[in-house]
Chains A and B, each alone.
Chain A
Amino acid sequence: MSSLVIDKLECQRGYSQLFTNLCFQVNAQEVVRITGTNGSGKTSLLKILAGINTQEQGCVTFDQNVVKSDAYQQEVFYLGHQAALSAELSSLENLEFLSALNQPVAREVLIQALEDIGLKGYADEPCANLSAGQKRRVILASLFISKAKVWLLDEPFTALDPKGIKIVESRIAQHCANGGLCLFTTHQDSALPNQRMIAL
Protein backbone atom coordinates (compact mmCIF):
# COMPACT_ATOMS: atom_id res chain seq x y z
CA MET A 1 0.00 0.00 0.00
CA SER A 2 1.35 3.41 -0.91
CA SER A 3 2.16 5.87 1.81
CA LEU A 4 3.75 9.25 2.22
CA VAL A 5 6.52 9.13 4.81
CA ILE A 6 7.82 12.27 6.50
CA ASP A 7 10.94 11.58 8.48
CA LYS A 8 12.66 13.96 10.94
CA LEU A 9 11.72 17.03 8.94
CA GLU A 10 13.13 20.38 9.96
CA CYS A 11 12.12 23.71 8.48
CA GLN A 12 13.44 27.19 9.02
CA ARG A 13 12.11 30.45 7.58
CA GLY A 14 14.32 33.44 8.14
CA TYR A 15 15.58 33.27 11.71
CA SER A 16 12.68 31.32 13.14
CA GLN A 17 12.53 27.58 13.33
CA LEU A 18 9.04 26.46 12.36
CA PHE A 19 9.28 22.81 13.21
CA THR A 20 11.97 20.27 13.90
CA ASN A 21 12.06 16.49 14.07
CA LEU A 22 8.63 16.21 12.48
CA CYS A 23 7.79 12.57 11.75
CA PHE A 24 4.55 11.12 10.48
CA GLN A 25 3.19 8.82 7.86
CA VAL A 26 0.07 9.18 5.75
CA ASN A 27 -1.31 5.99 4.25
CA ALA A 28 -3.53 5.60 1.23
CA GLN A 29 -7.20 6.43 1.87
CA GLU A 30 -6.29 8.80 4.68
CA VAL A 31 -7.28 12.45 4.98
CA VAL A 32 -4.97 14.54 7.13
CA ARG A 33 -5.80 18.03 8.24
CA ILE A 34 -2.81 20.09 9.29
CA THR A 35 -3.73 22.54 11.99
CA GLY A 36 -1.85 25.37 13.59
CA THR A 37 -1.94 29.10 14.18
CA ASN A 38 -1.00 31.67 11.55
CA GLY A 39 2.70 31.44 10.85
CA SER A 40 3.11 28.02 12.38
CA GLY A 41 4.44 26.56 9.13
CA LYS A 42 1.46 24.85 7.51
CA THR A 43 2.14 26.31 4.08
CA SER A 44 5.89 25.74 4.47
CA LEU A 45 5.25 22.08 5.26
CA LEU A 46 3.00 21.63 2.24
CA LYS A 47 5.52 23.41 0.01
CA ILE A 48 8.27 21.07 1.19
CA LEU A 49 6.03 18.10 0.48
CA ALA A 50 5.26 19.57 -2.96
CA GLY A 51 8.93 19.91 -3.79
CA ILE A 52 8.90 23.71 -4.00
CA ASN A 53 10.79 24.46 -0.81
CA THR A 54 13.78 22.56 0.52
CA GLN A 55 13.86 21.25 4.05
CA GLU A 56 16.77 21.95 6.38
CA GLN A 57 16.94 18.32 7.37
CA GLY A 58 15.01 15.09 7.07
CA CYS A 59 13.46 13.39 4.09
CA VAL A 60 10.11 12.94 2.40
CA THR A 61 9.28 9.85 0.38
CA PHE A 62 6.26 8.44 -1.37
CA ASP A 63 6.55 4.75 -2.28
CA GLN A 64 10.33 4.96 -1.78
CA ASN A 65 10.56 7.85 -4.25
CA VAL A 66 12.25 10.90 -2.77
CA VAL A 67 10.67 14.34 -3.01
CA LYS A 68 11.68 16.33 -6.14
CA SER A 69 12.35 13.15 -8.14
CA ASP A 70 10.26 12.82 -11.30
CA ALA A 71 8.48 9.72 -10.02
CA TYR A 72 7.52 11.56 -6.83
CA GLN A 73 6.40 14.77 -8.54
CA GLN A 74 4.20 12.77 -10.89
CA GLU A 75 2.19 11.55 -7.91
CA VAL A 76 1.74 14.95 -6.28
CA PHE A 77 -0.66 17.79 -6.94
CA TYR A 78 -0.10 21.01 -5.01
CA LEU A 79 -2.85 23.59 -4.72
CA GLY A 80 -1.38 26.84 -3.44
CA HIS A 81 -2.81 30.17 -2.38
CA GLN A 82 -2.92 31.51 -5.90
CA ALA A 83 -5.25 30.26 -8.59
CA ALA A 84 -2.39 29.80 -11.13
CA LEU A 85 -4.39 31.34 -13.98
CA SER A 86 -3.36 33.79 -16.68
CA ALA A 87 -5.86 36.61 -17.02
CA GLU A 88 -5.49 36.70 -20.82
CA LEU A 89 -6.47 33.06 -21.36
CA SER A 90 -9.93 31.55 -21.16
CA SER A 91 -10.76 29.10 -18.38
CA LEU A 92 -10.57 26.20 -20.84
CA GLU A 93 -7.13 27.27 -22.13
CA ASN A 94 -5.88 27.70 -18.57
CA LEU A 95 -7.23 24.32 -17.56
CA GLU A 96 -5.70 22.74 -20.66
CA PHE A 97 -2.25 24.04 -19.74
CA LEU A 98 -2.52 23.18 -16.05
CA SER A 99 -3.54 19.63 -16.79
CA ALA A 100 -0.85 19.31 -19.49
CA LEU A 101 1.69 20.05 -16.74
CA ASN A 102 0.52 16.86 -15.06
CA GLN A 103 -1.00 14.68 -17.73
CA PRO A 104 -2.46 15.68 -21.09
CA VAL A 105 -6.22 15.14 -21.14
CA ALA A 106 -8.74 15.14 -23.99
CA ARG A 107 -10.64 18.36 -24.60
CA GLU A 108 -14.04 16.80 -23.84
CA VAL A 109 -12.79 15.71 -20.42
CA LEU A 110 -11.70 19.27 -19.70
CA ILE A 111 -15.06 20.73 -20.73
CA GLN A 112 -16.83 18.10 -18.63
CA ALA A 113 -14.59 18.92 -15.65
CA LEU A 114 -15.50 22.60 -15.94
CA GLU A 115 -19.20 21.70 -16.00
CA ASP A 116 -18.82 19.43 -12.98
CA ILE A 117 -17.26 22.18 -10.92
CA GLY A 118 -20.07 24.59 -11.79
CA LEU A 119 -18.45 26.61 -14.58
CA LYS A 120 -20.83 25.56 -17.35
CA GLY A 121 -20.86 28.25 -20.03
CA TYR A 122 -17.64 29.83 -18.79
CA ALA A 123 -15.23 27.71 -20.85
CA ASP A 124 -14.39 30.50 -23.31
CA GLU A 125 -14.59 33.34 -20.79
CA PRO A 126 -11.24 35.11 -20.20
CA CYS A 127 -10.16 34.48 -16.64
CA ALA A 128 -9.84 38.21 -16.03
CA ASN A 129 -13.67 38.28 -16.01
CA LEU A 130 -14.10 35.49 -13.45
CA SER A 131 -14.77 36.05 -9.77
CA ALA A 132 -12.31 34.89 -7.10
CA GLY A 133 -14.38 31.78 -6.37
CA GLN A 134 -14.72 30.93 -10.05
CA LYS A 135 -10.95 31.23 -10.50
CA ARG A 136 -10.43 28.78 -7.65
CA ARG A 137 -12.85 26.43 -9.35
CA VAL A 138 -10.71 26.32 -12.51
CA ILE A 139 -7.62 25.06 -10.67
CA LEU A 140 -9.80 22.74 -8.59
CA ALA A 141 -11.06 21.27 -11.87
CA SER A 142 -7.47 20.53 -12.87
CA LEU A 143 -6.93 18.90 -9.47
CA PHE A 144 -9.96 16.66 -9.95
CA ILE A 145 -8.87 15.38 -13.36
CA SER A 146 -5.23 14.85 -12.38
CA LYS A 147 -4.06 11.30 -11.79
CA ALA A 148 -1.91 12.33 -8.81
CA LYS A 149 -2.32 10.16 -5.71
CA VAL A 150 -1.13 12.75 -3.20
CA TRP A 151 -3.22 15.89 -2.91
CA LEU A 152 -1.61 18.79 -1.04
CA LEU A 153 -4.27 21.42 -0.62
CA ASP A 154 -3.45 24.74 1.01
CA GLU A 155 -6.72 26.37 2.04
CA PRO A 156 -8.80 24.63 -0.64
CA PHE A 157 -12.05 26.22 0.56
CA THR A 158 -10.91 29.84 0.13
CA ALA A 159 -13.39 32.01 -1.76
CA LEU A 160 -15.78 29.11 -2.37
CA ASP A 161 -19.50 29.25 -1.61
CA PRO A 162 -21.07 26.51 0.61
CA LYS A 163 -22.06 24.51 -2.46
CA GLY A 164 -18.51 24.67 -3.80
CA ILE A 165 -17.13 23.54 -0.44
CA LYS A 166 -19.51 20.56 -0.54
CA ILE A 167 -18.20 19.60 -3.98
CA VAL A 168 -14.56 19.79 -2.83
CA GLU A 169 -15.27 17.75 0.31
CA SER A 170 -17.05 15.04 -1.61
CA ARG A 171 -14.24 14.89 -4.20
CA ILE A 172 -11.64 14.55 -1.43
CA ALA A 173 -13.65 11.72 0.12
CA GLN A 174 -14.02 10.07 -3.30
CA HIS A 175 -10.30 10.47 -4.04
CA CYS A 176 -9.36 8.78 -0.77
CA ALA A 177 -11.88 6.01 -1.30
CA ASN A 178 -10.11 5.32 -4.61
CA GLY A 179 -6.78 4.81 -2.86
CA GLY A 180 -5.46 8.36 -2.85
CA LEU A 181 -4.41 10.42 0.11
CA CYS A 182 -4.89 14.05 0.96
CA LEU A 183 -3.23 16.59 3.23
CA PHE A 184 -4.96 19.92 3.61
CA THR A 185 -5.07 23.02 5.75
CA THR A 186 -8.05 25.17 6.50
CA HIS A 187 -9.28 27.59 9.12
CA GLN A 188 -12.87 26.81 8.26
CA ASP A 189 -14.94 24.00 9.72
CA SER A 190 -14.74 20.98 7.54
CA ALA A 191 -17.24 18.19 7.67
CA LEU A 192 -14.92 15.58 6.20
CA PRO A 193 -15.38 12.25 7.99
CA ASN A 194 -12.37 10.35 9.39
CA GLN A 195 -9.96 13.22 9.07
CA ARG A 196 -6.81 12.88 11.13
CA MET A 197 -5.46 16.05 12.71
CA ILE A 198 -1.78 16.89 12.84
CA ALA A 199 -0.93 20.00 14.82
CA LEU A 200 2.17 22.06 14.10
Chain B
Amino acid sequence: MNIFFQTLSRDLRIALRNPSSVLNPLLFFIISVSLFPLAISPEATTLSQIAAGIIWVASMLAVLLSLNALFHHDFDNGVLEQMVTSHHPLALLILAKITAHWLLTGIPIILLSPLLGVFLFLDEQGIKVLMLTLLLATPSLSLIGSIGASLIVGIKNSGMLLSLLILPLYIPILIFASSAVSQAQFGLDINSQLYFLAMFLVLSLMSAPFVSALALKISLE
Protein backbone atom coordinates (compact mmCIF):
# COMPACT_ATOMS: atom_id res chain seq x y z
CA MET B 1 0.00 0.00 0.00
CA ASN B 2 2.97 2.25 0.70
CA ILE B 3 3.93 2.21 -2.96
CA PHE B 4 0.46 3.55 -3.80
CA PHE B 5 1.03 6.74 -1.81
CA GLN B 6 4.59 7.04 -3.05
CA THR B 7 3.44 6.90 -6.68
CA LEU B 8 0.61 9.31 -5.90
CA SER B 9 2.87 11.88 -4.25
CA ARG B 10 5.42 11.54 -7.04
CA ASP B 11 2.81 12.31 -9.69
CA LEU B 12 1.41 15.24 -7.71
CA ARG B 13 4.91 16.62 -7.21
CA ILE B 14 5.72 16.38 -10.92
CA ALA B 15 2.46 18.14 -11.77
CA LEU B 16 3.02 20.95 -9.27
CA ARG B 17 6.48 21.60 -10.71
CA ASN B 18 5.06 21.71 -14.22
CA PRO B 19 1.78 23.57 -13.58
CA SER B 20 0.98 24.40 -17.20
CA SER B 21 0.10 20.76 -17.89
CA VAL B 22 -2.54 20.92 -15.14
CA LEU B 23 -3.81 24.41 -15.89
CA ASN B 24 -4.30 23.89 -19.63
CA PRO B 25 -7.38 21.62 -19.39
CA LEU B 26 -8.89 23.79 -16.64
CA LEU B 27 -8.43 26.93 -18.67
CA PHE B 28 -10.06 25.18 -21.61
CA PHE B 29 -12.96 24.25 -19.32
CA ILE B 30 -13.52 27.81 -18.11
CA ILE B 31 -13.09 29.44 -21.51
CA SER B 32 -15.33 27.08 -23.42
CA VAL B 33 -18.16 27.38 -20.89
CA SER B 34 -17.94 31.15 -20.72
CA LEU B 35 -18.14 31.47 -24.52
CA PHE B 36 -21.64 29.97 -24.72
CA PRO B 37 -23.55 33.00 -23.34
CA LEU B 38 -21.80 35.15 -25.97
CA ALA B 39 -22.65 32.81 -28.82
CA ILE B 40 -26.20 31.73 -27.93
CA SER B 41 -27.97 34.30 -25.83
CA PRO B 42 -27.35 36.04 -22.53
CA GLU B 43 -30.96 35.42 -21.52
CA ALA B 44 -31.43 33.70 -18.18
CA THR B 45 -34.22 31.31 -19.22
CA THR B 46 -32.31 29.96 -22.25
CA LEU B 47 -29.00 29.60 -20.42
CA SER B 48 -30.37 27.93 -17.31
CA GLN B 49 -31.99 25.31 -19.54
CA ILE B 50 -28.74 24.31 -21.25
CA ALA B 51 -26.31 25.06 -18.40
CA ALA B 52 -25.98 21.49 -17.16
CA GLY B 53 -25.31 20.15 -20.64
CA ILE B 54 -22.70 22.79 -21.41
CA ILE B 55 -20.79 22.30 -18.17
CA TRP B 56 -20.88 18.55 -18.50
CA VAL B 57 -19.69 18.48 -22.11
CA ALA B 58 -16.93 20.97 -21.35
CA SER B 59 -15.69 19.05 -18.33
CA MET B 60 -15.71 15.82 -20.31
CA LEU B 61 -13.62 17.38 -23.07
CA ALA B 62 -11.28 18.93 -20.51
CA VAL B 63 -10.67 15.52 -18.95
CA LEU B 64 -10.12 14.06 -22.41
CA LEU B 65 -7.58 16.78 -23.14
CA SER B 66 -5.60 15.95 -20.02
CA LEU B 67 -5.58 12.17 -20.57
CA ASN B 68 -2.88 12.18 -23.24
CA ALA B 69 -0.26 13.07 -20.66
CA LEU B 70 -1.30 10.38 -18.17
CA PHE B 71 1.28 7.79 -19.22
CA HIS B 72 3.09 9.62 -21.99
CA HIS B 73 6.03 11.06 -20.02
CA ASP B 74 6.61 7.89 -18.04
CA PHE B 75 6.68 5.94 -21.29
CA ASP B 76 9.16 8.32 -22.90
CA ASN B 77 11.61 8.37 -20.02
CA GLY B 78 11.45 4.64 -19.27
CA VAL B 79 9.76 4.79 -15.85
CA LEU B 80 6.93 2.60 -17.16
CA GLU B 81 9.44 -0.18 -17.90
CA GLN B 82 10.61 -0.01 -14.31
CA MET B 83 6.98 -0.13 -13.11
CA VAL B 84 6.27 -3.22 -15.20
CA THR B 85 9.38 -5.05 -14.03
CA SER B 86 8.64 -4.20 -10.40
CA HIS B 87 7.08 -6.92 -8.25
CA HIS B 88 4.33 -4.56 -7.13
CA PRO B 89 1.00 -5.11 -8.90
CA LEU B 90 0.92 -2.80 -11.91
CA ALA B 91 -2.81 -2.18 -11.37
CA LEU B 92 -2.07 -0.63 -7.97
CA LEU B 93 0.54 1.71 -9.46
CA ILE B 94 -1.89 2.67 -12.21
CA LEU B 95 -4.66 3.30 -9.66
CA ALA B 96 -2.29 5.70 -7.91
CA LYS B 97 -1.64 7.53 -11.18
CA ILE B 98 -5.39 7.69 -11.89
CA THR B 99 -6.02 9.07 -8.41
CA ALA B 100 -3.41 11.76 -9.00
CA HIS B 101 -5.06 12.56 -12.33
CA TRP B 102 -8.46 12.90 -10.67
CA LEU B 103 -7.08 15.12 -7.90
CA LEU B 104 -5.52 17.38 -10.52
CA THR B 105 -8.42 17.58 -13.00
CA GLY B 106 -11.61 16.19 -11.42
CA ILE B 107 -11.41 18.11 -8.13
CA PRO B 108 -10.65 21.50 -9.72
CA ILE B 109 -13.54 20.97 -12.17
CA ILE B 110 -15.91 20.19 -9.28
CA LEU B 111 -14.73 23.27 -7.40
CA LEU B 112 -15.08 25.53 -10.45
CA SER B 113 -18.50 24.22 -11.45
CA PRO B 114 -20.64 26.32 -9.02
CA LEU B 115 -19.00 29.47 -10.30
CA LEU B 116 -19.70 28.54 -13.90
CA GLY B 117 -23.20 27.44 -12.87
CA VAL B 118 -23.85 30.96 -11.59
CA PHE B 119 -22.54 32.36 -14.89
CA LEU B 120 -25.21 30.33 -16.67
CA PHE B 121 -28.06 31.20 -14.27
CA LEU B 122 -28.30 27.69 -12.85
CA ASP B 123 -30.45 27.75 -9.70
CA GLU B 124 -29.28 26.58 -6.30
CA GLN B 125 -30.79 23.12 -6.56
CA GLY B 126 -29.28 22.70 -10.02
CA ILE B 127 -25.81 23.68 -8.81
CA LYS B 128 -26.01 21.24 -5.91
CA VAL B 129 -26.97 18.36 -8.17
CA LEU B 130 -24.38 19.40 -10.76
CA MET B 131 -21.63 19.20 -8.14
CA LEU B 132 -22.96 15.89 -6.90
CA THR B 133 -22.99 14.35 -10.37
CA LEU B 134 -19.49 15.68 -11.05
CA LEU B 135 -18.28 14.22 -7.77
CA LEU B 136 -19.79 10.85 -8.63
CA ALA B 137 -18.75 10.75 -12.25
CA THR B 138 -15.39 12.52 -12.71
CA PRO B 139 -13.56 9.59 -11.06
CA SER B 140 -15.18 7.33 -13.66
CA LEU B 141 -13.94 9.66 -16.39
CA SER B 142 -10.36 9.34 -15.12
CA LEU B 143 -10.67 5.58 -14.65
CA ILE B 144 -12.16 4.84 -18.06
CA GLY B 145 -9.81 7.34 -19.66
CA SER B 146 -6.80 5.48 -18.30
CA ILE B 147 -7.77 2.45 -20.40
CA GLY B 148 -7.63 4.52 -23.57
CA ALA B 149 -4.46 6.31 -22.48
CA SER B 150 -2.69 3.03 -21.83
CA LEU B 151 -3.74 1.60 -25.19
CA ILE B 152 -2.29 4.50 -27.18
CA VAL B 153 0.81 5.06 -25.08
CA GLY B 154 3.38 4.10 -27.70
CA ILE B 155 1.67 5.77 -30.63
CA LYS B 156 2.64 9.20 -31.93
CA ASN B 157 -0.03 11.90 -32.50
CA SER B 158 -2.70 9.74 -30.97
CA GLY B 159 -5.04 12.43 -29.61
CA MET B 160 -7.67 11.71 -32.24
CA LEU B 161 -7.52 7.98 -31.58
CA LEU B 162 -7.97 8.55 -27.86
CA SER B 163 -11.17 10.54 -28.41
CA LEU B 164 -12.54 7.85 -30.70
CA LEU B 165 -11.79 5.14 -28.17
CA ILE B 166 -12.98 6.90 -25.06
CA LEU B 167 -15.86 9.22 -25.98
CA PRO B 168 -18.36 6.42 -26.71
CA LEU B 169 -17.73 5.07 -23.21
CA TYR B 170 -18.28 8.52 -21.73
CA ILE B 171 -21.66 9.03 -23.38
CA PRO B 172 -23.80 7.09 -20.85
CA ILE B 173 -22.28 9.19 -18.07
CA LEU B 174 -23.03 12.37 -20.00
CA ILE B 175 -26.66 11.39 -20.59
CA PHE B 176 -27.45 10.38 -17.02
CA ALA B 177 -25.51 13.22 -15.37
CA SER B 178 -27.00 16.05 -17.42
CA SER B 179 -30.50 14.61 -17.21
CA ALA B 180 -30.12 14.44 -13.42
CA VAL B 181 -29.39 18.17 -13.30
CA SER B 182 -32.20 19.21 -15.62
CA GLN B 183 -34.72 17.00 -13.77
CA ALA B 184 -33.62 18.47 -10.47
CA GLN B 185 -34.30 21.94 -11.86
CA PHE B 186 -37.94 20.86 -12.33
CA GLY B 187 -38.00 19.42 -8.83
CA LEU B 188 -38.22 15.81 -10.00
CA ASP B 189 -36.69 12.76 -8.38
CA ILE B 190 -33.12 12.03 -9.53
CA ASN B 191 -32.27 8.91 -7.56
CA SER B 192 -32.22 6.61 -10.56
CA GLN B 193 -29.63 8.75 -12.35
CA LEU B 194 -27.45 8.98 -9.25
CA TYR B 195 -27.63 5.23 -8.73
CA PHE B 196 -26.57 4.70 -12.32
CA LEU B 197 -23.59 7.04 -11.95
CA ALA B 198 -22.58 5.31 -8.72
CA MET B 199 -22.87 1.93 -10.41
CA PHE B 200 -20.67 3.17 -13.23
CA LEU B 201 -18.09 4.38 -10.71
CA VAL B 202 -17.96 1.07 -8.87
CA LEU B 203 -17.75 -0.86 -12.12
CA SER B 204 -14.93 1.26 -13.53
CA LEU B 205 -13.08 1.31 -10.21
CA MET B 206 -13.08 -2.47 -10.13
CA SER B 207 -12.13 -3.08 -13.73
CA ALA B 208 -10.26 -0.09 -15.18
CA PRO B 209 -6.95 -0.46 -13.28
CA PHE B 210 -6.65 -4.11 -14.30
CA VAL B 211 -7.61 -3.48 -17.92
CA SER B 212 -5.18 -0.56 -18.08
CA ALA B 213 -2.41 -2.74 -16.64
CA LEU B 214 -2.99 -5.34 -19.34
CA ALA B 215 -3.15 -2.70 -22.06
CA LEU B 216 0.06 -1.07 -20.83
CA LYS B 217 1.91 -4.38 -20.90
CA ILE B 218 0.78 -4.88 -24.50
CA SER B 219 1.78 -1.34 -25.44
CA LEU B 220 5.25 -1.78 -23.97
CA GLU B 221 6.09 -4.89 -26.00
Q: Which residues of A are interface residues toward B (Cβ below 8 A)? A: 50-54, 70-71, 73-74, 76-78, 80-89, 93, 96-98, 100-102, 104, 126
Given known pairs A53-B221, A101-B88, the reply for A84 and B10 (CB within 8 Å) is no
A104 B85 Cβ-Cβ under 8 A: no
Q: Chain A residues near B79 (CB, 8 Å)?
A: 84-86
5 extra interface residue pairs, beta carbon distance < 8 Å, beyond A84-B79, A88-B13: A50-B81, A81-B78, A84-B81, A84-B82, A101-B88
Q: Which single member of A73, A82, A96 contacts B77 (CB below 8 Å)? A: A82
Q: Is the interface of B mostly helix, strand, loop or mixed?
A: helix
Distance of B86 from chain A, by nearest CB (Å): 4
A52 & B14 in contact (Cβ 8 Å cutoff): no
Contacting pair B10 A52 (CB below 8 A): no
Query: Are A102 and B77 CB-contacts (below 8 A) given A88-B13, A89-B10, A97-B10?
Result: no
Within B74-95, which residues are at the interface with A (CB < 8 Å)? 74, 76-79, 81-88
The 4 A-B pairs of least Cβ separation, nearest first, read A82-B78, A101-B86, A74-B87, A73-B87
- On whether the beta carbons of B3 and A86 are closer than 8 Å, the reply is no
Interface bits B1-27 vs A (CB < 8 Å: 1, else 0)? 011001100100110011000000000
**Cross-chain contact B85 with A78 (CB below 8 angstroms):** yes
Whether A51 touches B10, Cβ cut-off 8 Å, given contacts A84-B77, A88-B18, is no
Known contacts: A89-B14, A93-B10, A101-B3. The answer to whether A73 contacts B86 by CB under 8 A is yes
- Give the residue name and chain of the A residue nearest to B79 (CB): A84
